[in-house]
Amino acid sequence: MESLVLDIRNLHIGFETPEGPLEVVRGVDLHIDKGETLAIVGESGSGKTVTCLSVMGLLPDAGRVKGGSIDFQGRNLIALPPAERRRLSGSKMAMIFQEPMTSLNPLFRVGQQIAEAIRTHEEVSKKEARGRAEELLALVRIPEPSKRLDNYPHELSGGMRQRVMIAMALAGSPDLLIADEPTTALDVTVQAQILELLADLQQELGMALLFITHDLGVVAGIADRVAVMYAGQVVETGPTNDVYARPRMPYTAGLLRSVPVLSGEHAVGRLMAIPGQSPRPGHLPAGCAFAPRCVHVEENCTLGTIALEQHDAQLVRCRRTGELDLS
Amino acid sequence: MSTPLLSIQNLHVTFPAAGGETVKAVTNVSLDIQAGEVFGLVGESGSGKTTLGRAVLQLVPPTKGRIHFDGTNLATLDRAGLKQYRTRVQVIFQDPFGSLNPRMSVGDTLAEAAALVESKADTPARVRELLDLVGLPRDAAARHPHEFSGGQRQRIGIARALAVRPELIVADEPVSALDVSIQAQVVNLLQDLQAELGLTLLFIAHDLAVVRHISDRIGVMYLGRLMEVGPANAIVASPSHPYTRALLSAVPVPDPAMQERRQILEGDLPSPIHLPPGCVFSSRCPQADNACSDSVPDLIPIAEDRVCACLQVSEPAM
C-alpha cells in the first residue's frame, strides 16, 4: 500500500536494569496511513512512549529494540545504517513532547531556534531561514510572528511555547508527526486551542499524526483510529467511534467508565474504578496481563498467550470478548 | 443557616514581584463552607485556587480580609491556638511522594501524626485503623514510601491527613498526578471517607469533571477572583458565567459524537501583575462589551444558592 506511512510489526523493546533485562514492549503491531491520526492510549508503564521513541531512534541508552520491524515509507528503520536513519528520521518525521519549556533552549531567541532547525534540513541563508521561521510561526497561528521571533522561551506562555515546538517540528515538512502528550501540561482552555491547531494543520499539510495520550477525552476529539496499550501490548485497536461505542476488551471498557464525565448516566454517584494497579514489567502474570484486575476473568484467561483477534473493525486481545457485552 | 465551619471574607493575597510590582493572586474572595460540605474550587493555572487553599491553611498570610474557622478569626490565634488549629485542619497535596518523608516507614509517619491527638498506648491501634480506612494492607506500616505506587502513596497521604482526626481537609489537586483508573479509586475513597467521617472538604482542582463528581457546591475562579458559585449540578447543567461556559466546553469528553459543539476560548491568561481593567475575564470573553472593561462586576445572587460576577448576567426579579 503506497498510502502507508508507518508500519510497525511485532516490535519488542527491552531495557537493561540492575535487576536484569526487562521487556517493556512485547510484540506491538501498529500502522498509520497518510493523513491519518492514530492515538495510542495507555496509562503509565503501558509502553506507549517507548514505542514512539523507538520510531524516532531516541530510545535511552539502556533500551534496545529486541525484535520486529519499523517500516517508514517502505524502509525498515531498524536495518538502516545510523547516518541514513538520522537523515530520514530527522527530516521526514518529527516529534513534540509534553513540556515545551524543557525542549527549548532558554538562552536563544525562538526565531534562532526555529531557523537552526530549518538550516539543518535545507541549505538556505540565515536571512531566508528567518523568513521561513516567521512563516512557520504564522502557520501555527502565533499573532505578530515577526515580533515573536525575537522572544526568549520564558517570555511566552505555555500554549505559545507548544506552538513554537510545533513550528520547529514542521520545519522539515514531515510526513509523520509524533505528539507525546502535547497538551497534558496545558490548561484546559489552552489544550482545546492546541488540539484544534493540530487537527487543522494535519488537514492542511496531509501528514500522518501519531498522538500519544492517557486522556480518552482528548483522543475522542482528534483520532481516526485508536490503539489501547496495556503492559507493553496493544490490547484493543480500531476506528475511534467503534471502540468508544463498543469497547470489546474489559480494560478499554473499564478505562472509559473510570473517566469522570459531566453529563449522562455516569455523571453522578461513584466513579467506576478499575481495581488494583498495572503490573510492573518483569512481574507479569501468566496469560492476560489484565486478568488480575478484570471483573470478567475466568481460569482460561490466565493460561498461555492471547493473540489479537479480529472482531468487525476492531482487533481485540481477550479470550472472552465474544461472550461479553461491554458497551 | 448555622455558623459556617469556614468563612472567608473579602480575602486578598498579593505577592511582591520584580520591579516593585505586585502579583494579585487572590482578589476580594468571600466564601462560606458549612460543616460536612464538600466545596470544589475549580480554575486554571494562575486562578488563585491554590493560594486560597494555602491562606486557609495559614501557609500564606492574607494581605487583606479575614478567615474564620468555627467562628474564630484565624488572625487572632496565638502559637498555641495555631497549633491546635492545625490538628483541626489538614491538607492533601498533589504529589504524595514529595510530601512524605522517604526515610520514615509508613507506620512511623502515621504514628508521628496520630500521637498528636492519641495517647501513646492507643497510637499503634490507631495506625492499623488508619491503614484499614484508606484500604492499605496492615503490612504497609513497615514499608517505606518508595515501595508504593502513586495511587497507594496518595492513600498514605490521606491516612496521614486523617491521623489527627481533622474537621476540615484542604485537598489540592489530590488526583491529578494519577492514572485515570487509579484516579477513580482515590476519588471514590475520598467520597467514602468524607461521608463516613463527616469531613468538610475543600477540594481544589483544575478538572471540572472530577470536581463536579465529588462536590456539593462549586466555586469557579479566574485570575484571582470568584466568577461563579453554586450547587455542583446547577453549575454544570446551566453555567451562568461566560468563563464557566467556556471551561465546560473545553473539557475533553470521551465520546467522539460530543466533540463538534465546542466553543474554544482565544488567547492566553493575562498577567496577574497587570490585570485587565474591569472584569478580569473581559479580555477573553466572547460576550464582553465596553462596559465590561469599565467596572468590576460584583458577585450577585442569580438564583437560589447561586451567585455570579458578570455584568451580562442580571439579577432575576424576585
Domain range annotation of chain B: 6-308
Question: Which DSSP letter does residue B147 get?
Answer: G
How close, in Å, is residue A264 to chain B by CA atoms? 11
Taking contacts as CB-CB distances below 8 angstroms, the residues of chain B near A241 are: 256-257
In this model, does residue B297 exceed pLDDT 90? yes
Distance from CA of A269 to the nearest CA of B (A): 7
Predicted pLDDT of residue B318: 47
Q: Report the range of poorest mean pLDDT among A96-100, B277-281, B295-299.
A: A96-100
Sign of CA dihedral B8, B11, B15, B16: negative
B265 to A189: CB separation less than 8 angstroms, yes or no: yes
Structure ipTM over 0.90, yes or no? no
A191 — contact with chain B (CB < 8 Å)?
Answer: yes
Greater pLDDT, B181 or B278: B278
Output the pLDDT for position B315: 64
Q: How far is A227 from chain B (nearest CA, A)?
A: 15
pLDDT above 70 for B86? yes
Superfamily of domain B6-308: P-loop containing nucleotide triphosphate hydrolases (3.40.50.300)
- Name residues whose C-beta falls within 8 Å of residue A186's C-beta, 6 or more positions apart in sequence: A158, A159, A162, A194
Q: Are the beta carbons of A234 and A8 closer than 8 angstroms?
A: no
Higher pLDDT, B251 or B171: B171
| Alpha-carbon gap: B86 to the closest alpha carbon of chain A (Å) | 30
Per-residue pLDDT at B16: 94
Taking any CB pair shorter than 8 Å as contact, residues of chain B touching chain A are 44-45, 149-152, 179-185, 187-188, 191, 206-210, 212-213, 233, 236, 246-259, 262, 264-266, 268-269
Residue B1, pLDDT score? 57
What pLDDT score was predicted for residue A318?
96
What's the pTM? 0.89
Topology (CATH level 3) of domain A4-92+174-316: Rossmann fold (3.40.50)
The alpha-helical segments, DSSP class H, found in A151-249 are: 158-169, 188-205, 216-222, 240-245
- Burial of A20: CB neighbours in 10 Å, binned 0-12, 13-18, 19+: exposed
The segments of chain A whose pLDDT lies below 50 read: 1
pLDDT score for B110: 97
Could you tell me if A203 lies within 8 Å of chain B, comparing CB atoms?
Answer: no
Distance from CA of A294 to the nearest CA of B (A): 12
pLDDT of residue A2: 58
Q: Which of A41, A43, A154, A187 to mutate to test the interface with B (most CBs of B within 10 A)?
A: A187
**Hey, is the C-beta of A324 within 8 angstroms of any chain B C-beta?**
no
Sketch the domain layout of chain A as residue ranges.
4-92+174-316, 99-172
Using CA coordinates, name the residue in chain A closest to B44: A187
